[in-house]
Amino acid sequence: MVKMGVISKITASTKPASYAVAAVAHLLKLPLSVDPLAAEPSVTGPASVTAQSATTPISLSGSIPVLRYVARVDASHAKTLGITDTLRHSQIDYWIDFCGISLAPEAGFKPLATAFNALNSHLKMRSFLVGYSLTLADIACWGALRAIPIFNQKVKAKDNGLGPYLTRWFNHVDSLDFATLAVAEFEKARISIQSILSKTKAVASKEKKGDQGSFEINLVDAQMGKVVTRFPPEPSGYMHIGHAKAALLNEYFARKYEGTMICRFDDTNPSKEKSEFEETIMEDLVLLGIKPDRITHTSDCFDVIYEYALKLIKKGLAYVDDSTQEVMREERMALIESKCRNLSVEENLRRFSEMTRGSEKGVLMCLRAKINMKDPNGTMRDPVIYRCNATPHHRTGTKWKLYPIYDFACPIVDAHEGVTHALRSMEYRDRNPQYDWFLTALELRKVHIWDFSRVNFVYTLLSKRKLAWFVEEGLVTGWDDARFPTVRGIRRRGMTIQALRDYILMQGASQKMLELEWDKIWTLNKKVIDPIAPRHTALEREKITKVKVINADLFTPYTKSVPKHQKNPEVGEKMTTYSPELYLEFNDAKDLVVGEEVTLMAWGNVIVEKIDWAEGNDFIGTIEIRLNLDGDFKKTKKKLTWLARGIPSNEPQQAPVRATLFDFDYLITKKKLEEDDEMKDFVTPVTEFKTEAWGDANLRLCKQGDIIQLERKGYYIVDKAFDPAAPNSSIHLFLIPDGRVDSIKSKAAPEEPAAASAPVAAPAAKKAKTAKGAAAKPVASDDPLKSPMYASKKVYTETAKFPGVVGQMYEVKAFYGSPFAATKAVAPSAKAAAPAAVDAATPATEGKKEKAEKGKKGGSPAAAPAAEASIISKLDMVVGKIIKVENHPDADSLYVEQIDCGEAQPRTVVSGLRKFMTLEDLQDRMILVLKNLKPAAMRGIKSHAMVLCASNADHTKVEFLIPPAGSKPGDRVFFEGHEGTPEEQLNPKKKVWETVQPDFKTRDDLVAVWKNVEFRTAKGIVKTGSLAGASIK
């Protein structure tokens, strides 16, 4: 190392303390000055160094640059600081970077806890961070930890939470002479200039708030040891990411002020609440690392709340209203007082007694607070505070026939339980005056409110009512579905609890309303899982290509133990099989060229010798390669994943295993739904995609919940593990988004999927390079190890494409139909001509555009395009007869029907008609059925058709469509002028049903029409019973 100059002065600041810089200065006996006013911003503490070199003076600022410069400026410095060679230098640099990234003083306590855990794990079998003696890495990390107040508090308290190995190491370094002297320097500076520090304290505090912002809020009247917060979830659904933020914020401030956190279940609506939801919420809190000091229920205070209701009535501040809900809504909008507002106290008490008994008259009434019907704030216009509900409560049973509204119960219970600070999301801000009014009117103590911004993610619904709709409609598998924003849903998708906590705490208690993208949280999650996710291999089963190693005459299949993670040996080892017979994924194989050198990952280079395309050029029979393990993998452009086809005869467990790779889309197609948007209009038709694959044998050992990385495909979580009792069953792997645009964008983008093209053929250029001449037909394999597992039928068609997905084919498990239309076999000559057919169609399209333009200018209007004219014929609608109907065992809104559609067996159909019709209404009814939607699971029962009904605008009345007299099951429904052969199953990506359905109406004469073309069977027209101008779904 070249001596670059002489250090004339090192300056270290005290806010925060640059302990590492001062310690290095003492160790190397360099001139040091501790300046309490130095405020050069840096991650581990401001410091500067001035050096006189042979040319010009230099100056550096920031702890990390200073430490690195001091170590490099003189060879003796490097030796003293443990930098003995290039490898050691790189290892030390890693830990210096770790200080700057992971041990920043301004980091939240959760990211710091992660860093502490990493250090503790690393030091488990080590006395020093690098090598067997003290180095600059130890000094840098010690100094960074010394500057973190929470770490020092835990060390002084002998908190075992830091970990024994980290504590042992820290105490050792802290006891060394140079460290003791460094600490003394800062103590001396603080004592000598207390007046200066007191002046800068306010500035530093202000700057800290600017940096942290969201958490450094001023809780009014917050006193150490006396702050009480509460997290009040309603047990009517699973805990979602918004609840997680509320829970973590309440816990944060309770712990910050050494106070109390209450988890209170707001169980004031027995119609929606279940004890199972309480259990899952408590389990999720445990997973998040949140331990409330007390668990309570609003129902614990029902008697207290009831007495306060009586108090309001007696004070003339509440009245019992028997107006209908519609009338009350209209009066509140028009600022009109209710006819019941000025009833006497005695009459209101009598009426409230009727409500309490749940009498016939009482159940039609509600109790309202008498505030101000002219208030611009709608929440102050005499809100309802009690209503009747005969549903038994899951905790109090049938004791109560009336229940308080949350807005009334909340301030009372907050005051009763000693809550000092109520943290509420911004959506409640308009209700804050109402909250304060109740406290004042009931003479209760003051509870301070702090608003924080709600978590709003794009393409995401957090309303429990809307999420419940998806569950009830069978569009998801349950509240823990991987497409749901519930804690359990995103965990099932692969989100780690650590990343979830870190992300929410990064958001803090900010009041800024944002529509958050999903990229940051998934990027944070990737940082958590990447260092520990074992690496595995999977190849898409579609057209999988056989490969033969031709220079392996004496090479028999064998297995070898290799690391599961090349960069982290602590992840463990796995067994990899090497064989002269391999598999490649077709998407890789089709791009290979004879003579090309490529790399087989985790093996070495190979040279492509021969490619045998099958007749028709739509798949490859075999590929022959030659091993070139001495080749330089850095020079190859293609790095390919592979699997062994031949396996050792004595190790059948090393055979590839079946795997199904799942990917998901958002449940809605719009980033943010507006208030006037109808949610059902934006439901994503297809949200689940799957690809059948072969995975390496090590996947057999993965457990449910394990997170892995499939090389060149992404991160996955095991949703269904290998079942030894069913060895031919498939492992289910869910793709984990990694934060990149392609992984988080909506697949239901406005752009249409690419038109179906001819199957992939061997390019002419490739054939010209083929030394063997024309492609040969595939020859039957003589592999003695051939397994029937590999003889799999095709799952996919060859033409379907999905927007935004390059090189991947998906089999879609859809709720609205099959993703792939049935296709007939096409002769090679026809396939080859496909592109020409597309080109030939272009002038015709342009001609139609010209005619349309003429029509606009006054000429005769152009005829509708043939594609639009015939789209209705793709639907397979028939007359059906309901021969049996029963209630769905697991859904209150669904019926399960057996419908005769004129086929050999009746179809099982699940319909959401239970709210509108009785069992008797359905039995033996003649109806219309849409048959060619893909069967969909509806709360555990697969539905094989859809019953068509007419409904009014607000969906409060629903009627069957009535086939003409004399119709029988199986009669086809058609539209004159648009006859054609229906598709076997509709392709959801073409959105046929979504395109035609908005034009399904009933006319004033009750006839069902599509664009005013009547629904007909051979017996006549189709009508409805009484609904005119209705929508048909």
Q: What is the pLDDT of residues 680-689, one digit of tens each?
A: 889 999 999 9
CB 403 within 8 A of CB 395: no
The one-letter amino acid at 485: P
pLDDT score recorded for residue 622: 94
Would you say residue 71 has pLDDT above 60?
A: yes
Would you say residue 343 has pLDDT above 70?
A: yes
Average pLDDT over residues 703-725: 95
Residues 407, 369: Cα–Cα separation, whole Å: 11
Would you say residue 819 has pLDDT above 70?
A: no
pLDDT score recorded for residue 304: 96
Burial classification of residue 246, based on how many CB atoms lie within 10 Å of its CB (0-12 exposed, 13-18 middle, 19 or more buried): buried
CB 30 within 8 A of CB 8: no
pLDDT score recorded for residue 557: 87
pLDDT score recorded for residue 781: 33
pLDDT score recorded for residue 217: 64
Reduced to 3 states, what is the DSSP secondary structure of residue 648? coil
pLDDT score recorded for residue 59: 58
Lowest mean pLDDT among 85-89, 156-160, 627-631, 968-972: 156-160
Would you say residue 664 has pLDDT above 50?
A: yes
Q: Classify the phi-psi angles of 131: left when phi > 0, otherwise alpha if psi is within -120 to 50, otherwise beta.
A: left
Instruction: Decide which of 1.10.10.10, 2.40.240.10, 3.90.76.10, 3.40.50.1370 is the CATH code for 519-670+682-744.
Output: 2.40.240.10
pLDDT score recorded for residue 749: 55
Burial classification of residue 278, based on how many CB atoms lie within 10 Å of its CB (0-12 exposed, 13-18 middle, 19 or more buried): buried
Count other C-beta atoms under 10 Å from residue 41's C-beta: 9
Count other C-beta atoms under 10 Å from residue 275's C-beta: 11
- 511 — pLDDT class (breaks 50, 70, 90): low
pLDDT in tens, 632-648: 999 999 999 999 998 87
pLDDT score recorded for residue 47: 52
Interaxial angle between packed helices 136-146 and 149-156, expressed in degrees from 0 to 180 and rounded to the nearest 10: 90
Count other C-beta atoms under 10 Å from residue 228's C-beta: 22
pLDDT score recorded for residue 707: 96
Would you say residue 345 has pLDDT above 80?
A: yes
Residues 684, 483: Cα–Cα separation, whole Å: 11
β-strand partners of 732: 660, 720
The segment with the largest mean pLDDT, out of 85-94, 146-155, 754-763, is: 85-94
Residue 68 vs residue 320, higher pLDDT: 320
Question: CA separation (Å) from 89 to 5, 82, 84, 574, 592?
Answer: 20, 8, 7, 31, 42
Neighbouring residues of 300: CB distance < 8 A, sequence distance ≥ 6: none
Would you say residue 381 has pLDDT above 60?
A: yes
- 318 — pLDDT class (breaks 50, 70, 90): very high
Would you say residue 611 has pLDDT above 90?
A: yes
Instruction: Decide which of 3.90.1150.10, 1.20.1050.130, 3.10.20.600, 1.10.1740.10 is the CATH code for 3-194.
Output: 1.20.1050.130
Rounded to a whole number of angstroms, the CA Rg of the chain reads 36
pLDDT score recorded for residue 53: 43
CB 142 within 8 A of CB 19: yes
The backbone torsions φ and ψ at residue 495, rounded to the nearest 5 degrees and listed phi first, read -75, 130
pLDDT score recorded for residue 105: 64
Q: Quote the pTM value.
A: 0.54
Percent of the chain scoring above 70 in pLDDT: 79
Average pLDDT over residues 602-619: 90
Residues 301, 651: Cα–Cα separation, whole Å: 66
| 877-1032: CATH superfamily | Nucleic acid-binding proteins (2.40.50.140)
Instruction: Give domain limits for the chain.
Output: 3-194, 519-670+682-744, 877-1032
Residue 274 vs residue 865, higher pLDDT: 274
Task: Compute the Cα dihedral for 481, 233, 684, 1014 and give only its sign.
Answer: positive
pLDDT score recorded for residue 740: 87
138: tokens are 């130890």
Half-sphere exposure of 289 (CA within 13 A, CB side): 15
Lowest mean pLDDT among 205-214, 355-364, 432-441: 205-214
Residues 613, 605: Cα–Cα separation, whole Å: 23
pLDDT in tens, 472-500: 999 999 999 999 999 999 999 999 988 98
Average pLDDT over residues 36-59: 45
CB 1 within 8 A of CB 75: yes
Catalytic residues: 234, 454, 464
- 583 — pLDDT class (breaks 50, 70, 90): very high
Average pLDDT over residues 184-188: 77
Task: Compute the Cα dihedral for 277, 283, 289, 295 and give only its sign.
Answer: positive
What DSSP character marks residue 1002? E
Count other C-beta atoms under 10 Å from residue 397's C-beta: 9
pLDDT score recorded for residue 608: 96
CB 873 within 8 A of CB 978: yes
Residues 91, 77: Cα–Cα separation, whole Å: 17
CB 592 within 8 A of CB 598: yes
- 369 — pLDDT class (breaks 50, 70, 90): very high
537: tokens are 């291999």
pLDDT in tens, 904-913: 899 999 998 8
Mean predicted lDDT score pLDDT of the chain: 80
pLDDT in tens, 225-269: 999 999 999 998 889 988 998 999 899 899 988 999 999 999 999
Would you say residue 949 has pLDDT above 70?
A: yes
What DSSP character marks residue 14? B
Task: Compute the Cα dihedral for 82, 86, 88, 89 and give only its sign.
Answer: positive
CB 256 within 8 A of CB 426: no
Task: Compute the Cα dihedral for 468, 470, 473, 478 and give only its sign.
Answer: negative
pLDDT score recorded for residue 40: 39
pLDDT in tens, 874-891: 999 999 999 999 988 777
Would you say residue 396 has pLDDT above 90?
A: yes
Question: CA separation (Å) from 130 to 79, 98, 148, 943?
Answer: 14, 13, 22, 63
Strands 384-388 and 366-369: antiparallel
pLDDT score recorded for residue 31: 78
Nearest residue to 143 (alpha-carbon basis) of 111, 104, 115, 106: 104
Lowest mean pLDDT among 580-589, 826-835, 962-971: 826-835
Would you say residue 809 has pLDDT above 90?
A: no
pLDDT score recorded for residue 799: 32
Percent of the chain scoring above 90 in pLDDT: 46
Residue 755 vs residue 159, higher pLDDT: 159
pLDDT score recorded for residue 555: 72
Residues 875, 890: Cα–Cα separation, whole Å: 30
pLDDT score recorded for residue 48: 53
- 8 — pLDDT class (breaks 50, 70, 90): low
Would you say residue 853 has pLDDT above 50?
A: no
Neighbouring residues of 516: CB distance < 8 A, sequence distance ≥ 6: 455, 456, 457, 458
Q: What does 867-918 look like in DSSP terms, one character per residue? A: HHHHGGGGS-EEEEEEEEEEE-TT-TT-EEEEEE-SSSSPEEEEES-TTT--
What DSSP character marks residue 729? S
267: tokens are 């169980």
